[in-house]
C-alpha cells in the first residue's frame, strides 16, 4: 500500500511540475501587448492610493478578449471612484502587459507582475459598479483593513507606513526614498514578512494558548490555523509562506510523533510554493528566503561548535551573543551571492547592519504586534510621541 502511495505522489508531483512549466510558457499568450479592454471584473484586493489614482487588483469575469476569464490584472481608477473588495464592476480602458527589462539584469515590471499571476495593467477610462459579492475572503480583508486603520490611528503617517511594511507586509505607502535606503543597505528583506515575523507570531500565540489550552495536539492545530490566517492577512508573500509551511510541518510532525527532517521540509515547501504559483520561480524574495534558511541549516551549528571549542568559550552571555551573530552570519553566506547575482551590488556594511537588525527588529516586531492587538480592542490608545 505504501508503495502505491509513493508512486501516486511521484506521479502527482511530476504532473504538477509539467503543468506549471507549461503555464509559465503560456503566460504571455493570454493578452496582446496593448489593447482597448472592456470587461466585467471582480475587485480582489484592497485599495492602494497613488498620486493621481487608486489601484486595485481585479479578476476578469467577462471580457472582449477570449480565454482571459479568471485572470488577474491591475487597474488604475480615478480617485473619485471608491471601490471595495468584492465589488463587481464593468470597466473599459487601455491595457498593457507592462515594461520588460531594458538593461541587463534591470527591473522587469512584467516579470514582477508574473510573481502574483497578474497579466498586466489597465488605465480605466470608465467604471460602473454592477453588484457586490459577499465571501469569506471579503471578511478576512475587512479584518486587514481594520488592522491598517488601527495603525493609522495609533501612529503618525511615516511611522505607520513603516509598521505596515514590517508587521503586515504592505510597503505600498512607504516613501520611495526609505525603500531605496533599505535596498542600498542590503536590508530590503526587513520589509518582507519572513521567518523572524512568523517566529514572534508563534511565540505570542503559544503564550496565550498556554493559559487556556492544555492539550498539546489541539494547541498545535490552533497555531496552524493562525499561521494560515497570517499568510492571508499579510498577502501570501513567498518568504512568509515558506516560513509558515516549514513551521506548520514541524507542528504536524510533533502531533504524529515523527522526527522532522529539515531537508525534506525545505524541498517539500519549495514544491508547494511552485505548485501554488509557478511564477514564484522568478521571485528574488523566495530565493533569498530559502537561501538564508539553508545557510542557517548548513553552517550555524558547525560554526558555533567550532568557535566554542577553538576559543574555549564558557560565558553564557558570550555563547548567547555568538549564537545570534552566527544565525545572521550563516544566513548571509548564501544570501550574499544571490544578492550580487540579482542586483549587481552589495553593501560593505552588510554584515554589521544585519547583525544590528537582529537586535533591533526583534523587539520592534514584538512591541508592534502587541500595540496592534491592543489598538484593535482599545481604539483610544495612541502613541503620543509618534504624533508630535
Annotate 62-129 with DSSP letters as a single string. EESSTT-TT-EEEEEEETT----TTEEEEEEEEEE--PPPSSTT---HHHHHHTTTEEEEEEEEEEEE
Residue 125 has pLDDT above 70, yes or no: yes
Q: What element of type H or E holds 156? A: none
- Find cell 457586490 and name the residue: 132
Task: Give the chain's radius of gyration (CA, Å).
Answer: 23
Closest to 283 in 3D by CA, of 338, 228, 227: 338
Alpha-carbon distances, residue 368 vs 81, 113, 119, 133, 237 (angstroms): 33, 30, 35, 33, 20
Contacts of residue 304, defined as CB under 8 A and 6 or more positions apart, other chains included, come to 322, 323, 326
Tell me what the pLDDT averaged over the chain comes to: 82
Alpha-carbon distances, residue 367 vs 216, 353, 373 (angstroms): 27, 21, 10
Q: Please give the average per-residue pLDDT across 95-120, as a whole number.
A: 82
58-91 CB burial, b ≥16 within 10 A, e <16:
bebbebebeebeebbbbbbbeeebebebbbbbeb
d(CA 98, CA 83): 23
d(CA 264, CA 249): 10
Helices (H), 187-215: 195-212
Closest to 47 in 3D by CA, of 92, 82, 88, 94: 82
Cα 158 to the center of its chain, rounded Å: 21
Burial of 133 (0-12, 13-18, 19+ CB in 10 A): middle
Q: pLDDT tens digits for 75-86?
A: 999 888 888 889
In eight-state DSSP terms, residue 51 is S
The phi, psi pair for 90, rounded to 5°, reads -105, 125
Q: What is the model's pTM?
A: 0.83
Q: How far apart are the first and last CA of the chain?
A: 68
- Retrieve residue 85's grid coordinates: 473588495
pLDDT computed for residue 59 by the predictor: 94
% the chain with pLDDT above 70: 85
Confidence band of 385 (pLDDT split at 50, 70, 90)? very low
d(CA 331, CA 359): 15
Q: pLDDT tens digits for 5-32?
A: 666 666 666 666 666 666 666 677 888 8
Domain boundaries, the chain: 32-134, 160-377
Q: Please give the average per-residue pLDDT across 182-189, as a whole number.
A: 68
**DSSP strand pairing (72-78 vs 118-132):** parallel
- Retrieve residue 7's grid coordinates: 508512486
d(CA 258, CA 268): 16
- Find cell 501516486 and name the residue: 8
Identify whether the C-beta of residue 244 lies closer than 8 Å to the C-beta of residue 233. no
Q: pLDDT tens digits for 32-70?
A: 889 999 999 999 988 888 778 889 999 999 999 988 898
Q: pLDDT tens digits for 308-346?
A: 887 777 777 777 778 878 887 888 888 888 878 877 776
Rounded (5°) CA angle 149-55-24:
115
Show contacts of 221-225: CB within 8 Å, 24+ apart. 221/251, 221/255, 223/251, 224/248, 224/251, 224/252
Weakest mean pLDDT among 106-110, 116-120, 353-357: 353-357
- Retrieve residue 307's grid coordinates: 568557535
d(CA 223, CA 256): 16
- Retrieve residue 217's grid coordinates: 495536539
Contacts of residue 38, defined as CB under 8 A and 6 or more positions apart, other chains included, come to 63, 64, 90, 91, 92
Q: Which CATH number fits domain 32-134: 1.25.40, 2.40.50, 1.10.510, 3.40.30?
A: 2.40.50
Amino acid at each position: 500500500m505504501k508503495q502505491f502511495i509513493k508512486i501516486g505522489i511521484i506521479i502527482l508531483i511530476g504532473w504538477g511540475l509539467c503543468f506549471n512549466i507549461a503555464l509559465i510558457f503560456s503566460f504571455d499568450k493570454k493578452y496582446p501587448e496593448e489593447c482597448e479592454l472592456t470587461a466585467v471584473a471582480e475587485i480582489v484586493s484592497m485599495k492602494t492610493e497613488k498620486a493621481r489614482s487608486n489601484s486595485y487588483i481585479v479578476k476578469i469575469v467577462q471580457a472582449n478578449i477570449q480565454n482571459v476569464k479568471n485572470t488577474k490584472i491591475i487597474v488604475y481608477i480615478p480617485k473619485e471612484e471608491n471601490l471595495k473588495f468584492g465589488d463587481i464592476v464593468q470597466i473599459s480602458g487601455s491595457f498593457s502587459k507592462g515594461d520588460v527589462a531594458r538593461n541587463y539584469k534591470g527591473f522587469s515590471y512584467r516579470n514582477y507582475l508574473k510573481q502574483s499571476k497578474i497579466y498586466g495593467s489597465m488605465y480605466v477610462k470608465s467604471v460602473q459598479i454592477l453588484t457586490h459579492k459577499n465571501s469569506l475572503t471579503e471578511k478576512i480583508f475587512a479584518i486587514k483593513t481594520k488592522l491598517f486603520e488601527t495603525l493609522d490611528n495609533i501612529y503618525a503617517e511615516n511611522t505607520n507606513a513603516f509598521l505596515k511594511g514590517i508587521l503586515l507586509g504592505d510597503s505600498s505607502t512607504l516613501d520611495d526614498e526609505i525603500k531605496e535606503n533599505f535596498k542600498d543597505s542590503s536590508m530590503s528583506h526587513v520589509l518582507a514578512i519572513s521567518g523572524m515575523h512568523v517566529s514572534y507570531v508563534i511565540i505570542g500565540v503559544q503564550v496565550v494558548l498556554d493559559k487556556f489550552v492544555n492539550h498539546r495536539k489541539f494547541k498545535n492545530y490552533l497555531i496552524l490555523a493562525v499561521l494560515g490566517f497570517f499568510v492571508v492577512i499579510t498577502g501570501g508573500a513567498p518568504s512568509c509562506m515558506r516560513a509558515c509551511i516549514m513551521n506548520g510541518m514541524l507542528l504536524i510532525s510533533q502531533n504524529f510523533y515523527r522526527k522532522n527532517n529539515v531537508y525534506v521540509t525545505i524541498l517539500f515547501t519549495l514544491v508547494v510554493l511552485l505548485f501554488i504559483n509557478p511564477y514564484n520561480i522568478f521571485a528574488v524574495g523566495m530565493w533569498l528566503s530559502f537561501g538564508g534558511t539553508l545557510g542557517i541549516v548548513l553552517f550555524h551549528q558547525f560554526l558555533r561548535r567550532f568557535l566554542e571549542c577553538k576559543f574555549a568559550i564558557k560565558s553564557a552571555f558570550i555563547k548567547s551573543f555568538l549564537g545570534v551573530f552566527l544565525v545572521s552570519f550563516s544566513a548571509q553566506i548564501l544570501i550574499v551571492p544571490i544578492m550580487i547575482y540579482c542586483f549587481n551590488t552589495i553593501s560593505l556594511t552588510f554584515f554589521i547592519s544585519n547583525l544590528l537588525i537582529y537586535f533591533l527588529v526583534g523587539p520592534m516586531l514584538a512591541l508592534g504586534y502587541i500595540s496592534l492587538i491592543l489598538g484593535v480592542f482599545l481604539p483610544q490608545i495612541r502613541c503620543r510621541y509618534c504624533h508630535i
